[in-house]
Chains A and B, each alone.
Chain A
């Protein structure tokens, strides 16, 4: 993706040293994994350190790994993936941080580092229920006012839990449990390697 790929990985290793849990270079992309407690330090370094200068947070998204590979997953359940872009050096990096607690996922906010994170973190909170410590205004953003649950978690059904309809007797719109049956047209299959040649 960028011409500086060869220099980026060693530079990251050198700068972040032991705060770096994992570094993967694949398909021309660099992915690093950091611990939740070092997140803010690492992010500040990534933004301000000479030669890194990731001045733009392109994307931030929540991840729920609980159903990964049909139950093969053994690590933590929730993660946040950050996609950073350096306009100055024309390079990208992906940062992944796993939330320590599966039942109460919390990650530090990066709103004060990149203001654009504000809505992205609200989205991750809304859809995955990941809490961002220090976020100034952590409200739901995409779902309805008064929505219950976090729809992008793997245990949330595709058809949802409630549906709305107009009730002529009460003369207003009411919520009721969904009446549609969940169905799967194409089953999800993970094949072994080299299946079918």
Chain B
């Protein structure tokens, strides 16, 4: 009889299910995984070191590029850390706008996740469905910041500008005649809030569509039920956060337990799983999308009724308005100093965390009183999740590794930083 040896295999970095640039070294006994050793860092850009050589404001766009499918949530943690050190009060309207965009971001992230997860496990259609709604939300990003992905919309002290009164519209072309374009533009005639309001009205039906495709699907259940089971105790020890932790039945959500922005003023529920397997985490995220929709609706109603400033009036931190800058010497100096030297953040250290779509995203900021951070540490949820891969994959088949990668919602921008 031939000698039986373990077999070592490279999964990625070019594998389509490796979600970017993961090199996963798998030690296999036949088709069963004995050990999984992820080699990360192929996308390491040294964001934390780069931030040390830039002013506080210049680092905001870098935050978008961490987890590049939930851009505004990253910015939120960063600006919160700065605001905490400065002791800066954010206008309530800005808090609501942030809450709304955090939830829009959550839906954006979960839509990409369900698309990619489905694709990995052989469900092609759901990807196309999910990207249809993603397009609308990215238009909201574009309307408010000018960029579909890397928004740089949150600023220390508030948000860059108020919500626009109009949505960008489609124009007639060779492919779409005027009649077709009018139909496409039907919900874009009013303000941006009208558009989002319309979105929240039709989105629950869209989630039903995704669930129709997957929730009772026999193949989907065969691929996810009982795969990657994590007990609540292990989930805590392994540093899992967000849907990964809630899927194991631990009721923990920073939005409820340590509320920030306007989360203590809106109503929503935290979905929790029972078995801690991939299927439960899928259900948790699906329900989270519905809850996010609920929060967005509440924010839209509040924002309609309550106009006001969206950025702090402290011009050492937030730029003065264009008109004041042109007519007032003091404001001109503030503007010049803010965009050349940058703001000075008082000496000290602060940790600010948000409930990012993937888990707890934290920024640990140490300042020595200069115009640049002394040290910025980014606590990325995906980093801890990927570490758990070894333990979760042990004893499963190779094909299940793909399911695990999907359920962890891995994005390398934040893991490698």
> Could you list which residues of chain A lie within 8 angstroms of chain B, going by C-beta atoms?
1-2, 26-27, 29, 31, 55-59, 61, 63-64, 67-70, 72, 81, 83, 87, 90, 92, 94, 114-116, 118-120, 123, 140-144, 151-152, 158, 184, 186, 188-191, 195-196
- A139 CB to nearest chain B CB (Å): 9
B375 touches A63 (CB 8 A): yes
Interface flag for B159 (CB, 8 Å):
no
Minimum distance in angstroms from A184 CB to a CB of chain B: 7
- Tell me which of B71-79, B127-135, B365-373 binds A: B365-373
Rounded to whole angstroms, the CA-CA distance of A188 and B86 in the bound complex is: 18
| Interfacial chain B residues near A144, Cβ < 8 Å | 41
The residue among B239, B316, B360 with the most chain A CB atoms within 10 A of its own CB is B239
Assess whether B49 is in contact with A158, with CB atoms less than 8 Å apart: yes
Q: Write out the residue numbers on chain A whose beta carbons fall within 8 Å of the beta carbon of B55.
A: 186
Docked-complex contact B239 and A57, CB < 8 angstroms: yes
Inside 8 A of A58's CB, which chain B residues have their CB?
239, 241, 353, 360, 362, 379
Contacting residues of chain B (254-274) with chain A, CB-CB under 8 angstroms: 257-258
A87, A123, A152, A186: the one within 8 Å of B371 (CB): A186
Does B387 touch A at the CB level, under 8 Å?
A: yes
Using known A-B contacts A27-B348, A61-B364, determine if residue A2 contacts B258 with beta carbons closer than 8 Å. Answer: yes
Q: How far is the CB of B246 from chain A (nearest CB, A)?
A: 11
Interfacial residues of chain B within 84-136, with CB under 8 A of chain A in the complex: 84-85, 87
List chain B residues, Cβ under 8 A from A196: 316, 337
- Are A59 and B250 neighbours in the complex by a CB distance under 8 Å? no
Residue-wise interface mask of B (317-352) relative to A, using a CB-CB cutoff of 8 A (1 in contact, 0 not): 000000000000000000001001110100111110
The distance from the CB of B91 to the nearest CB of chain A, in whole angstroms, is: 20
Given contacts A29-B351, A81-B364, contact A158 B236 (CB under 8 A): no
Q: Any chain A CB within 8 A of the CB of B40? A: yes
A83-B364, A83-B379 known; A184+B53 contact, CB < 8 A: yes
- Tell me the nearest residue of chain B to A137, going by C-beta: B37
Interface flag for B54 (CB, 8 Å): yes
Is B416 in contact with chain A by the CB < 8 A criterion? yes
| B189: interface (CB < 8 Å) | no
Complex contacts, A68 vs chain B, CB 8 Å:
368, 374
A1-B258, A90-B257, A158-B49 known; A69-B369 Cβ under 8 A: yes
Residues of B within 8 A of A119 (CB): 383-384, 386-387
Q: A63-B366, A119-B387 are in contact. Are A94 and B351 (CB under 8 A)?
A: yes
Nearest A residue (CB) for B390:
A118
Q: How far is the CA of A55 from the CA of B370 in the complex (A)?
A: 35
Residue A152 contacts which of B40, B49, B364 (CB distance < 8 angstroms)? B49
Once the chains bind, are B238 and A115 in contact (CB under 8 Å)? yes
4 smallest beta-carbon distances between A and B, as pairs? A116-B239, A142-B41, A59-B379, A61-B377
* Residue of chain B at shortest CB distance from A67: B374
- Which chain B residues lie closer than 8 Å to A191 at the CB level? 344, 369
Q: Does B252 belong to the interface (CB within 8 Å)?
A: yes
What is the size category of the interface that chain B forms with chain A?
35 or more
* Known interface pairs A151-B46, A191-B344; A56-B349 also in contact (CB < 8 Å): no
A189/B371 contact (C-beta < 8 A), A56-B236, A58-B362 known: yes
> Shortest beta-carbon distance, B404 to chain A, in Å?
16
Q: Which residues of A contact B258 (CB under 8 A)?
A: 1-2, 90
Within 8 A of A (CB), among B300-315: none
Question: Are A29 and B257 in contact, CB atoms less than 8 angstroms apart?
Answer: no
Q: Which residues of A contact B387 (CB under 8 A)?
A: 116, 118-119
Q: Which of B85, B340, B374 touches A27 (beta carbons < 8 Å)?
A: B85
Asked if B377 and A56 sit within 8 Å, CB to CB, the answer is no
Whole-angstrom distance from the CB of A23 to the nearest CB of chain B? Answer: 14
Show 8 residue pairs from A and B whose CB-CB distance is below 8 angstroms, ordered by the A residue. A29-B351, A57-B239, A58-B379, A63-B375, A70-B368, A119-B384, A188-B53, A196-B316
Given contacts A68-B368, A141-B41, 20 further A-B contacts (CB under 8 A): A57-B239, A58-B379, A59-B351, A59-B364, A59-B379, A61-B377, A94-B349, A115-B391, A116-B239, A123-B383, A143-B41, A152-B46, A158-B49, A158-B53, A186-B55, A186-B342, A188-B370, A188-B372, A189-B371, A195-B344
Q: What residues of chain A lie closer than 8 Å to B41, measured between beta carbons?
A: 140-144
Contacts of B383 in A (CB 8 A): 119-120, 123
| Cβ distance A118 to chain B, nearest Cβ, rounded Å | 6
Enumerate chain B residues within 8 angstroms of A87, measured Cβ to Cβ: 236, 250, 252
Q: Mark B130-170, 1 if CB is under 8 A from A, else 0.
A: 00000000000000000000000000000000000000000
B44 located at the interface, meaning its Cβ lies under 8 Å from any Cβ of chain A in the complex: yes
Contact across chains for A69 and B368 when beta carbons are under 8 A apart: yes
In the complex, what residue of chain B is closest to A61 when comparing beta carbons? B377
Chain B residues near A158 (CB, 8 Å)? 49-50, 53
- Which residues of chain B are within 8 angstroms of A70 by Cβ–Cβ distance? 368, 370
Complex formed: what's the CA distance from A87 to B342 in Å?
37
